[in-house]
Amino acid sequence: MRNKKTLISTGDFLDLKYKIEQRGFFNLFSRFRFSGDKRSFAKWNNITPGSDFWIIPAVRKRWNEKCTGDKNLGYEDYVIDHYLKSSSDLRMLSVGCSSGSRERNFGKYGNFKLIEGIDIASSKIEEARDNAIKSGLTNLKYHIGDFRTYEFEPNTYDIILFNSSLHHFSKIDLLLEKKVLPLLKNDGFLILFEYVGPVRLQWTMVQLDYANKLLKELPEKYKTRINGKSIKKKIYRPGLLRMILVDPSEAIESDRILPAVHSYFNTVEEKKAGWDILHSLLKDISHNFLSEDDETRSLLAYLFEQEDKYMVETGLSDAVFGIFRKIN
């Protein structure tokens, strides 16, 4: 089901027009002066709430159900209940922590002596620190920096967490072998909630056909982009040039994640979380699905059903939730 990669697509030009309307020409193009690492930093340091599928509460509940079997149970609570209930004085490192929601969800449990988070985006770390103070949690500590070069004490952590962040790293095998494994204690856990689909979002034609069929079926009011000026009419595979210009780290070696993890860790649990269709289908139009009315609930249920159908037919999943244990 692999496709040849697309260098430039029609969707790139349509998306460029949309982004200029949304953000302005100079704001959008100012970051292209930067090196690759600086462009990645600029994207994540200045990211603002948009209209991607993760803003939809029903989608988040779907992820809970995929990960824990209960739409109202987050994976943090599940991990504590199933694996750490009797443990104490735990230390965890969260890589690519953003504004810190996952650390707070774990940190509310007295099992943790210390939870540390690291992210290259200084603005997000400031948010995380403020949120920790507001929540009254004193067992959270945050670092601004690049995990690849930041010095942490070896053999320190009971858990290392990557929540949608590992797919932004290159040389995955080397990162796991030389950076992650040395930081984990013997029998320590690696926890992933992660995109593991096609590199640089080079979706297969089967995925695109599925998603475009569903897009055509949506009522027009659900296809209005967040700027209110245009309608989403077709889903395109993003061009590689655009991906590299906007964020060179995006899904750079995503298809290497699971093979590498399986080489260095024992699998405790690994569950398919989807994203194959909803990721591309709902991009830029997710704000239309925030209502709790019957029509919206019915549409989302249908879309979830169709993505599940795709996953059954192909045996694939672009996202996984996994709990893995260090091989001694």
Closest CA to 163 of 60, 308, 65: 60
CATH homologous superfamily, domain 50-198+219-233+252-326: Vaccinia Virus protein VP39 (3.40.50.150)
- Please check whether residue 56 is in contact with residue 282, taking contact to mean a CB–CB distance below 8 angstroms: yes
Q: Can you tell me the distance from the alpha carbon of 9 to that of 234, in angstroms, rounded to the nearest whole number?
A: 12
Question: In this structure, which amino acid lies at residue 200?
Answer: R
Q: Which helix (H) or strand (E) holds 274?
A: strand 265-274
Nearest Cα neighbor of 194 from 165, 161, 172 is 165
Q: Residue 226: what pLDDT?
A: 85
What is the number of other CB atoms lying within 10 angstroms of the CB of residue 113?
12
Q: What is the pLDDT of residue 23?
A: 55
> Any alpha helices (H) in the chain, and if so which ranges?
10-23, 25-29, 36-45, 57-68, 75-79, 101-107, 122-135, 172-175, 181-183, 205-217, 240-246, 257-264, 278-281, 294-314
Average pLDDT over residues 51-62: 96
Confidence grade of residue 60 (pLDDT, cut at 50, 70, 90): very high
pLDDT bin (cut points 50, 70, 90) of residue 4 is: low
Instruction: Render pLDDT for 260-282 as a digit per residue (tens, 0 to 9).
Output: 999 999 999 999 999 999 999 99
CA within 13 Å, CB half, 39: 19
